[in-house]
């Protein structure tokens, strides 16, 4: 049987039409996943398949994407592994070191002295409020500052002794301010009362013997002491001058200076020194317990903490010791954080996941994305795969057409 070339289109058209239909059908189907982006209405009725499948079910798609990511990709175990990789000791140390250096730079560039004001407030509260309350509590303890006061007593007070110059100055002060001639004159007048004169006269008469007994009973002391008191009362300037001469002639200043130089606690008996040390300790503790808080508060009010804080902050911010210690501090903080994370990382991640609400973030992000942007994003991810589906549809249509040609050919035979 000869082949009828006039029927060639019956054998050629099915594969071609099948390929064209398969190609464009898949392309249209993929486009209909996204388009049209909004519903189309005619006569108040929505046209079927509008909007596209994905825009119509975008909320459900967002939830499915969130469930897939959280269930398969961002599981708690994966988040823990991610946190371990991010929080390696070297990275944490570098981050802490950067923060510390940024803080130092911020302090240096602080024109309004905010840091100094904060430090001033801390110092004022520490010394004026917190420390006085703490001092009252600690001062109730028997052993409070015992070792420190004993050390000060043994190393400073016990070995303290006036130098020659200090003793000279102190002796001059005593004779010029504490015991000047006028004060001594008034003290003599107050001492020589009638009763005192009578007592001294009677005692002199009774307790003397020999030549002194004769003098005492013949002349006595009453008249002499009475006239001396009267002289001190009537002749003030002359008495003061006489007393000044006596002080000089008797070398009272040198005697007082030698006495002051010889004064030292280490020259006292051991028992006396121990008792004095105990008394000193108890006196200091009692004072701190009753008046220590008021003393610190008064001292805090008298100090300009703002100026001190400015000097302190400026010194620390420019100190080479602080700059050189930042790396050591950051390393220690990183090690502390590492030990803490090794122990509690699982619990931290379990607490962080609900706080971050990653699943809700994914849902909201997908829902807020426009269909056009969503289409562009998906096409950007699976562009080659989508094109392969379209091409595969054309190939399958062509193959189906070939089967149709074979069927036609066989049916004509």
Mean pLDDT is lowest, of 191-200, 240-249, 320-329, 378-387, for 378-387
Q: In the prediction, which pLDDT does 1 show? A: 45
Confidence of residue 381 (pLDDT cuts 50, 70, 90): low
Residue 231 clears pLDDT 70, i.e. is over it: yes
* pLDDT at residue 223, rounded to an integer: 81
pLDDT at 39 (0 to 100): 78
- Helix residue ranges, H only, 87-153: 89-108, 114-125, 131-138, 146-152
3-state SS assignment for residue 45: strand
What percentage of the chain reaches a pLDDT higher than 90?
0
Distance between CA atoms of 138 and 229, rounded to whole angstroms? 57
Half-sphere exposure (CA, 13 Å, Cβ side) for 108? 11
For 125-169, the pLDDT digits (tens) are 887 778 878 877 877 777 777 888 888 887 777 777 788 888 888
**CA 384 – CA 378 distance, rounded (Å):** 11
Higher pLDDT, 52 or 256: 256
Q: Which of 78-87, 138-147, 185-194 is predicted with the least confidence, judged by mean pLDDT?
A: 78-87
Q: What confidence tens digit (pLDDT) does each residue in 260-283 have? A: 888 777 777 888 878 888 888 888
> For 164-177, what is the mean pLDDT?
88
In this predicted structure, what is the pLDDT of residue 220? Answer: 64
Q: What is the pLDDT of residue 211?
A: 65
Contact criterion met (CB below 8 Å) for 187 and 202: no
pLDDT at 2: 47
Find which of 201-210, 217-226, 231-240 is predicted with most confidence, using mean pLDDT. Answer: 231-240
pLDDT of residue 213: 61
- Which residue, chain included where needed, has tokens 């000060």? 152
pLDDT tens digits for range 100-119: 778 777 766 766 577 778 77
Confidence of residue 5 (pLDDT cuts 50, 70, 90): low
Average pLDDT (360-367) is 78
Confidence at residue 385, expressed as pLDDT on a 0 to 100 scale: 66
pLDDT value at residue 217:
66
The pLDDT value recorded for residue 152 is 82
Which DSSP state fits 5? G
Place of tokens 């590492």: 338
In the block, which residue shows the tokens 């010889």? 262
Share of the chain above pLDDT 70, in %: 86
More confident residue, 294 or 374: 294
Mean pLDDT to the nearest integer, 86-97: 79
CB count in 10 Å sphere of residue 349 = 18
Q: Which two tokens mark 55? A: 């825009």
Q: Which helix (H) or strand (E) holds 353?
A: helix 320-356
Greater confidence, 188 or 396? 188
| Residue 91 pLDDT | 81
Asked if 327 and 97 touch (Cβ cutoff 8 Å), the reply is yes
Residue 218, pLDDT score = 60
Q: What mean pLDDT value characterizes the chain?
A: 78
Quickly list H helices, 221-304: 222-234, 236-249, 252-262, 270-287, 293-302
pLDDT digits (tens, 9 = 90+) for 14-48: 778 877 877 777 677 767 767 777 777 787 787 77
Angle (CA) 236-243-169 rounded to 5° is: 120
* pLDDT at residue 201 greater than cutoff 60: yes
Residue with tokens 């807020």: 368
pLDDT in tens, 292-301: 778 777 878 8
Domain spans of the chain, in order of start: 5-86+342-412, 110-160+275-318, 162-263
């Amino acid at each position: 049987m000869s082949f009828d070339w006039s029927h060639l289109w019956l054998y050629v058209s099915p594969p071609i039409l099948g390929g064209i239909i398969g190609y464009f059908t898949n392309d249209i189907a993929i486009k209909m996943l996204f388009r049209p982006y909004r519903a189309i209405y005619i006569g108040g009725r929505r046209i079927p398949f509008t909007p596209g499948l994905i825009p119509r079910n975008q909320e459900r798609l967002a939830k499915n994407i969130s469930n897939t990511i959280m269930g398969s990709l961002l599981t708690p175990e994966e988040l823990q592994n991610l946190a371990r990789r991010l929080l390696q000791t070297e990275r944490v140390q570098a981050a802490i070191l950067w923060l510390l250096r940024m803080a130092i730079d911020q302090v240096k560039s602080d024109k309004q002295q905010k840091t100094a004001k904060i430090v001033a407030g801390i110092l004022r509260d520490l010394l004026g409020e917190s420390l006085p309350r703490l001092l009252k509590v600690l001062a109730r303890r028997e052993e409070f500052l015992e070792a420190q006061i004993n050390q000060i007593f043994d190393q400073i007070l016990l070995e303290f002794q006036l130098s020659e110059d200090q003793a000279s100055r102190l002796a001059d002060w005593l004779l010029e301010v504490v015991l000047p001639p006028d004060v001594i004159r008034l003290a003599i007048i107050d001492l020589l009362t009638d009763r005192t004169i009578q007592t001294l006269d009677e005692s002199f008469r009774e307790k003397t013997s020999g030549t002194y007994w004769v003098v005492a009973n013949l002349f006595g002391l009453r008249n002499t002491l009475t006239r001396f008191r009267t002289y001190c009362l009537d002749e003030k300037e002359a008495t003061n001058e006489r007393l000044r001469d006596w002080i000089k002639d008797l070398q009272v200043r040198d005697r007082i200076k030698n006495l002051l130089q010889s004064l030292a606690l280490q020259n006292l008996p051991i028992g006396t020194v121990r008792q004095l040390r105990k008394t000193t300790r108890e006196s200091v503790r009692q004072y701190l317990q009753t008046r220590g808080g008021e003393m610190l508060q008064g001292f805090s009010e008298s100090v300009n903490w703002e100026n001190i804080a400015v000097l302190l902050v400026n010194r620390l911010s420019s100190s080479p010791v602080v700059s050189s210690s930042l790396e050591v501090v950051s390393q220690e903080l990183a090690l502390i954080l590492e030990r803490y994370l090794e122990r509690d990382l699982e619990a931290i991640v379990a607490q962080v996941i609900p706080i971050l609400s990653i699943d809700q973030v994914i849902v909201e992000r997908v829902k807020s994305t426009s269909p056009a942007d969503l289409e562009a994003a998906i096409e950007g991810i699976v562009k080659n795969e989508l094109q392969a589906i379209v091409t595969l549809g054309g190939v399958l249509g062509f193959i189906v057409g070939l089967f149709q040609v074979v069927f036609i050919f066989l049916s004509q035979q």
